[in-house]
Structure 1
Amino acid sequence: MPTFSAPDGTVLTYHVTGEGPPLLCLPGGPMQDSVYLGDLGGLTAHRTLIRLDLRGTGHSTVPRDPASYRCDRQVGDVEALRAELGLERVDLLGHSAGANLAVLYATRHPERVGQLALVTPSVFAVGLDITAEDRLETARLRRDEPWFAPAYASLEAVTSGRAAPADWDAVAPFWSGRWDDEAREFRVAEQRQRNDEAAALYASEGAFESEGTRADAFTAPVLVLAGEYDVAAPVRVMKEYAGLFPHADLVVQSGAGHFPWRDGPEAFVTALAAFRDQVVAGPPGT
């Protein structure tokens, strides 16, 4: 597996799979091994995926300074990888918490980003609010599922700030568009793959206070891809998120939760491929 050195000397690993134009992928979690992204539902047939193992995750080494887990302090890692790859400009995809890092990088280095795809993104970097009712309203779309009642009761506890430890596991069905054995196995693997120490520091004080977090300063094409059923990134807020950028498209994937490439691989790949084609072709009249 190829490695490179971050600005502070931490040795980071990345993974290259697929064919086509390169797409640098930043995982969520936060601070989860990038292996969970897999081939992004078969996107490797259209793009060369470059998955970065963030510092202290996957095959990347643990940094000497734990404070460097803070999201804004990892922007330099992404820039170092771009330079390592020899790319003048890079197409960037961020999933969930990884979208925060993607947005910080894009607004700090706008000249280095060709396009930006934000998949079920966390909103910390752009300062939006997700209310309890946003999440509960989205959850109620699943009211006919056999697991709904206990999971919804736990989600009410979580969103009201009175959750017991068991409630966090009980809401897991809401993360997936299909709560089956495969989704359960994926959930168990997630918990093994995350660096909990790093996750606790990722959004620590000061991470998103820079003026560089202003999305309206980024003028390249943006795709915000939301899942119809995603309680982590509800559609109402994703519409608001897309509206922050001068040139953004919103795609809402039907039947998808927080991991849309797993819930509907064909729809996911079609949306990403169409976005790439649109960017290559340019806007009408150009």
Structure 2
Amino acid sequence: MSHATAPHALRPGAHRYASYDGAELAYRVLGPRDGAATPPLVCLAGGPGRDAAYLGDLGGLDEHRPLVVPDSRGTGASPPATDPSGYAFPRLAQDLEALRQHLGLERFALLAHDAAAATAQAYAAAHPERLSHLVLVCPGARLQGELPDDAREIFEARSDEPWWEDAYTAVQALPTASDLDDVRDLLRRAAPLAYGRWEEPQQAHAASEGAQLGPVPRAGFWQGVDEATRLALVEQLRAVRCPALVVTGARDGVTGVRAGELVAASLAHASARALPEVGHFPWVDAPDLFRTTVEDFVRGA
């Protein structure tokens, strides 16, 4: 396949594609009108189950190439899954393969943020020959079987900041909160720990989180992924030969830095880079640095 087989698919705007089960899923293309001549970057939103709108234009990454941003099942303009298993990240990887076919791409560059890094790794394990580059941004290491605690250390090291005490109280209450409105309020109060600093751009970005949460897709993301499945997937990652970059934030109080290092170590051709003064959303804290880091990697600079 080539770009020529589906030229409409890379035009800026909203589009749909048929997935493996016939479901009509949504995606958006951001970028210059002549961007079809430049290989696109497919970008997966995390959460899990968060509306991909929070990615924005990823710090201006759409300036030189199209960004293809799918709405996973039950988020954005995509319909909910007919079966709860459709929300599990290995099944979301099947949706990604259907999107590749729709776009007419033999190989493509893939970026995934936060929990979507698990979807991206599942895709890489199943279709290693389809990826030209893999960028994982602020991933957790649950797939690698570890839960490093450096995110807590990063958070606690900022205890002198004015927002910290209220954020700490909210973080302690989140594990036992069940009412969705309460969860959204607690996330709002805990939000500063996810950013490198707490200024107007960060506050505006955080304000959208509550309305973007999809509790059902979130609950189903790890469904059916038992220990045997996890171990088999990690073993398959050793066969992934495309270059990979794991970007972390040195001030990320959500997933920290160590998890990204573990993810990079599980891939054959990966490097990890921690961006200074940056939290869980690097394109918000340092858009220029994030954009150049990713663009240089994808271009092979």
Secondary structure of 2:30 counterpart: strand
TM-superposed deviation, 1:163: 7.3
* 8 Å CA contact retained: 2:85, 2:224: no
Distance, in Å, in 1 between the alignment partners of 2:167 and 2:298 is 37
Q: In the alignment, which residue of structure 2 is the partner of 1:179?
A: 198
Q: In the alignment, which residue of structure 2 is the partner of 1:143?
A: 159
* 8 Å CA contact retained: 2:201, 2:284: no
Q: In the alignment, which residue of structure 1 is the partner of 2:216?
A: 197
Is 1:5 the counterpart of 2:12? The answer is no
Q: CA RMSD in A?
A: 2.2
Alignment of 1:30-45 (within 5 A): 30-45=48-63
Q: In the alignment, which residue of structure 1 is the partner of 2:250?
A: 228
* 8 Å CA contact retained: 1:88, 1:112: yes
TM-superposed deviation, 1:32: 1.5
Distance, in Å, in 1 between the alignment partners of 2:53 and 2:30 is 12
Seen in structure 2, the aligned counterparts of structure 1 residues 151 and 195 have a Cα distance that, compared at 3 Å, is: closer
The TM-score with structure 1 as length reference comes to 0.88
Q: In the alignment, which residue of structure 1 is the partner of 2:4?
A: none
Q: Which runs of 5+ in 2 are unaligned?
A: 1-13
Is 1:50 the counterpart of 2:72? The answer is no
May I ask how many residue pairs the two structures share in their alignment?
275
Q: In the alignment, which residue of structure 1 is the partner of 2:138?
A: 120
TM-superposed deviation, 1:51: 0.2
Q: Which runs of 5+ in 1 are unaligned?
A: 282-286
The TM-score with structure 2 as length reference comes to 0.84
Q: In the alignment, which residue of structure 2 is the partner of 1:284?
A: none
Is 1:249 the counterpart of 2:271? The answer is yes
Distance, in Å, in 2 between the alignment partners of 1:125 and 1:9 is 29
* 8 Å CA contact retained: 1:114, 1:221: yes
Secondary structure of 1:191 counterpart: helix
Residue identity in the other structure for 1:176 = Y
Seen in structure 2, the aligned counterparts of structure 1 residues 128 and 216 have a Cα distance that, compared at 3 Å, is: farther
Is 1:96 the counterpart of 2:110? The answer is no
Identity in percent: 37
TM-superposed deviation, 1:11: 0.7
Distance, in Å, in 2 between the alignment partners of 1:212 and 1:162 is 31
Secondary structure of 2:241 counterpart: coil
TM-superposed deviation, 1:205: 3.4
